[in-house]
Amino acid sequence: MHVGLSNKFSIQGSKRKIASLQFSDKTVEDYSKAMSVGNPHDLNTSPFPQLYSPAGKRQMFQRVDRFSVLQPIKKEEDKLTDKDIMRQLQESPEQKLEDQIPKQLVGSQSARSYFQHYKVLTKVKQQNEYHKINDSIQTQMLKQAESVDVLPCKLGLIKLNGSESQVSINNHHYGDKYISVLSEGLRQNQGIKEFLLSNNRIKQDGAVTILNQIGKQATVVDLSKNDIGSLGVDCLCQQLQMRENKMEVINIEDNKLGDKFVMRILKCLLNTQNKVKVLNISKNFLTNEICDLMKEIILQLDNLEELYIHWNQIKGSGGQKIFEALVENKNMIVFDGSWNSFGISEKSNCTQKVCDFLSQNKVMLHCDLSANQFTLPDCKLIASSLKPNRTMYGFHFAGNWGVVDPRGFLIIDENSQQKVLGETLRIKGLEQVTTLRHEDVCWICEGWQEQVFDWIPDGECDPLFLHMNFEEYKQVYVPKRNDGTYKLPLMVPAGQTQFLFTVIDNQTTGANYENMKFGHVIKLKVNGINVSCQLDNINVVKKLKHFQLMDKKEMKAHTSVLPRTPDPIYIPPKLKKQKRIWSFPISIWFKDFRFENEEFLRKCFEKDWSCSKISKVVKNPDEFNEVKNLLWKDYKMIKETYKWYSSYNPSGDVWSISSNVITDFSSSTELVDNKTFKLSDLDLKFIATCAASIEYKGNYRNPERALCRYQFMEFLVRVSDDKYLKQKQANNMVESVQMILEQCRPIMSQYNAQKWRDERYFNEQCDDCLKYYKTLLNYVYNRYSIKKVKPGQKKFMCLDELHEICGQAGLFDEKFVDRDADLAFNLSMMLQIDELESDRIFQMTFVEFLEAIARIAEKVSLPAAPDMSWEQRQQQPLHIKLERFLILLAQTCASEEYKSQFGNPQKSIFDVQPEDD
């Protein structure tokens, strides 16, 4: 290749492509001088003959070539003027060497450039040596990695994200060799202030290396879970004694140093002007020997705000000295003394000093005294001393007697055993450390937040109680304010909190809060009375999962609620006589009775639908879904009709509809007309329905010659197919099913077990009657619930035992027959989702027994006065009938021992007239 200097520079090649050359500023300056003085090509007259000698030309163009960038010439006819050349020479930048190019330590390209740097490390070292250039951070680290024979690693200096002022390599197990690499990388980087080096197998040599390097710049030094040894301690002390020392956080937890070495550090802190705010000397086998020095540290270090001595061997006498200092300390806000042995007295007065600290110190915000072997009397004293403290927002006491409740009180339960726990939740200054709820509540660690619960009054609301899920729905009184509003600020945990209100003994939800579907039974205690409540919806309030309760700068809490603020106390008004307002939640049935809501009915329907063989009758997929929707709309009516007719002639204890009963049903509904549908057709459909479910053959809950609940629905579909579709009265199965439901509706709609409950049974008088005679009812139920109960099984009553009670009471006559007892039993049983795999359908519980007794009393209608006609007996209120029947049970079914103990009631409780107000 020939390069000539004339009016234009060009490079001739095989394709004759012409490109301009861009020169450095130095080259342009030399060329300009050469052009302006004498003949630049004449070596005798040129002021720069060295530029035009053969060696000078080679040197110049080598330099030009190194800094040039080829660009296509965009001039017409590929011609350049001297002016164009000069402009391009002036615009040409000077290329920098590798270690002169600044490279980011944090960012998406930092790691890539670091490892690319490693590939050209040999070249970089040669460049730096030749041009006398200082090594960059990357070069220093890579050179040290080569010298100690380890693979190159980023070591927290080079990272994708994070702060440039922090090195965080916790739990990486790097070891001393890598620490030496890190130290080399820090030589020119004085901007890093925080060094988090926990759990890295750092021993004495590594500790000395890194501490010597960072001593003048570090504010945070975390060497926990290492083994820095005596040399590391000595080096740390040297750095603390330096005038340039800036350390504010020192963490040497779990270095197994012992009293001797930790005392060196404490003495160094006492004898120097330091800025240490956080000192963590946990897990270092410390004993009482160090406590005199620790007492001085607490009293004299005005900057010390957090002290951690977790998991050491300090006993009562040493703890006494520590708490004597904490009583007087006015600066420390966090103290972790957990997992020591302060409770082992050794003739000390440690517990009293702990009590003095809790009652007198008004600065401490967060304290952990967990697992310190305090005795039960000690814990009672501590709980009493903590009670008036309104400044400590976080208090931990796990592993001792007592539990910290959501208000911050320490609750002592003498019946609970002292808990022995493994190391779990650790406090970390004033920061939230978990999103989970623990049995012992800490507002700081769990991120609790303030919530103002208010109620919009609509008429009389007092008393108003609040029930929250994290307190197991205990009642909290919400008082009425002077302005007529109901508001109560409380602390609630992070995440979701469920709650409801009790307004004058009625459980409900607030309209001004978000609602969610619930449907579970909640056990409440309102005014000392246990109440079970089932709500379709419940109020919900949602809080941030990550929340810092404390403002670290101003040392204030982001809440107006003070810890250990007692709940308002409800004092009932003193009236001469207060009339009770009866409601179902305070009734005898509320705890155990389950209403059939839409969600529960849907589950029952889906179970029946999946067990049936309707798909073999309705074969069109589109019609199949429409038929399903039709049956679901009338499922409650179908279910009630089945329950009524299955009680007429059960197969033993199993409720089912026999062929004779289905004939009665078809006669009542006029399905059999002997024209479009005959009795023989009915029998065929009955047999086909029974035979279709061969997979349940052998299941005693599904008799072979009777219809169960799921089969009754299938039977109606089969009859509709034969009666309407095959006779061409309907165009499809949807119309035929709709026609049979419409034909049977006048009869089937009469059967409604819940209607009787609402109109006759669920009322204040029946409730009073059952409560008054509950002892008798319990006695009779337990006495007769023995026949089919297996050992260890909860008691239940079977059908035969109810018959036995009726027989013992002498009820059977022409007006009350076996079928009436069967019907009372079955109608009282609560609906079950699966009747094929559970015996629950013929195991009567106590609340169902109460209803069965009431239904029998309704049917028998015992007279409340002599000479009453049958019609008059039937028209009596149910509570009168029920009481007369219960008195009869006491006379006929109770033993003489029971009568002698509880008496033989004769007089009606409803004969007593209330006093005049």
Under the banding of pLDDT at 50, 70 and 90, the label for residue 636 is: very high
Percent of the chain residues past pLDDT 70, beyond the cut: 87
Residue 49 domain-assigned? no
- pTM of the predicted protein model: 0.57
Give 99 or 589, the one with higher predicted confidence: 589
Same domain, 482 and 353: no
Assign residue 38 a region (left: φ > 0; alpha: ψ between -120 and 50; beta: otherwise).
left
pLDDT, tens digit, 9 for 90 and up, residues 654-709: 889 999 999 999 999 988 888 888 899 899 989 998 888 777 777 888 888 899 98
What's the first-to-final CA gap in the chain, in angstroms? 125
Same domain, 710 and 750: yes
Residue 714 domain-assigned? yes
Chain centroid to Cα 863, Å, comes to 59
pLDDT, tens digit, 9 for 90 and up, residues 201-214: 999 999 999 999 99
Q: How many domains would you assign to the chain? A: 5
pLDDT, tens digit, 9 for 90 and up, residues 380-414: 999 999 999 999 999 999 989 999 999 999 999 87
Residue 909 structure tokens: 């409780």
**CB contact set of 185 (below 8 Å; sequence gap of 6+):** 137, 138, 140, 141, 144, 155, 157
CATH number of 138's domain: 3.80.10.10
Residue 248 domain-assigned? yes
Q: In angstroms, rounded to a whole number, what is the distance separating the alpha carbons of residues 737 and 733?
A: 6
Q: In angstroms, rounded to a whole number, what is the distance separating the alpha carbons of residues 25 and 39?
A: 22
Same domain, 241 and 335: no
Q: Is 133 helix (H, G, I), strand (E, B) or coil?
A: coil
**CB contact set of 531 (below 8 Å; sequence gap of 6+):** 507, 523, 524, 525, 585, 586, 590, 591
Residue 642: Cβ within 10 Å count: 26
Same domain, 506 and 633: no
Please report which residue ranges of 242-375 form alpha helices under DSSP H.
258-271, 291-300, 316-328, 350-360
Residue 487 domain-assigned? yes
Angle at 555 between CA 552 and CA 560, to 5 degrees: 115
**CB contact set of 807 (below 8 Å; sequence gap of 6+):** none
For residue 638, what are the domain limits? 600-754
The last residue of one of the domains, among 398, 431, 464, is 431
Same domain, 414 and 355: yes
Same domain, 464 and 481: yes
Residue 243 domain-assigned? yes
For the segment 612-641, the average pLDDT, to the nearest whole number, is 90
Same domain, 248 and 315: no
The last residue of one of the domains, among 513, 528, 546, is 546
pLDDT, tens digit, 9 for 90 and up, residues 308-361: 999 999 999 999 999 999 999 999 999 999 999 999 977 788 999 999 999 999
Please give, one letter per residue, the 3-state secondary structure of 684-709. HHHHHHHHHCHHHCCCCCCCCCCECH
Residue 793 domain-assigned? yes
Same domain, 684 and 770: no
**Across-strand partners of 516?**
538
Cis peptide before 463 (omega within 30 of 0): yes
Q: 623 with 698: CB under 8 angstroms? A: no
In single-letter form, the type of residue at position 813 comes to D
For the segment 5-33, the average pLDDT, to the nearest whole number, is 42
Q: In this structure, what DSSP letter does residue 516 have?
A: E
pLDDT, tens digit, 9 for 90 and up, residues 763-796: 999 999 999 888 889 999 999 998 888 888 889 9
Angle at 220 between CA 214 and CA 224, to 5 degrees: 95
Long-range contacts of 721-728 (CB under 8 A, 24+ apart): 721/617, 722/677, 722/681, 722/685, 723/671, 723/676, 723/677, 723/681, 724/676, 727/676, 727/677
Same domain, 616 and 742: yes
Q: In angstroms, rounded to a whole number, what is the distance separating the alpha carbons of residues 504 and 604?
A: 35
Residue 586 domain-assigned? no
Counting every residue written for the chain, the total comes to 917
Q: In this structure, what DSSP letter does residue 78 have?
A: G
Closest among 338, 501, 343 to 427, alpha carbons compared: 338
For the segment 557-579, the average pLDDT, to the nearest whole number, is 78
Residue 385 domain-assigned? yes
Exposed/middle/buried for residue 108 (C-beta within 10 Å: 0-12, 13-18, 19+): exposed
Helix axes 291-300, 258-271, angle to 10 degrees: 30
CATH number of 480's domain: 2.60.40.10
Same domain, 124 and 272: yes
Same domain, 107 and 247: yes
Q: 886 with 853: CB under 8 angstroms? A: yes
Closest among 235, 116, 138 to 186, alpha carbons compared: 138
Widest Cα–Cα separation across the chain:
157
119 membership: H or E segment, kind and range: helix 110-119
The last residue of one of the domains, among 404, 431, 458, is 431
Same domain, 179 and 252: yes
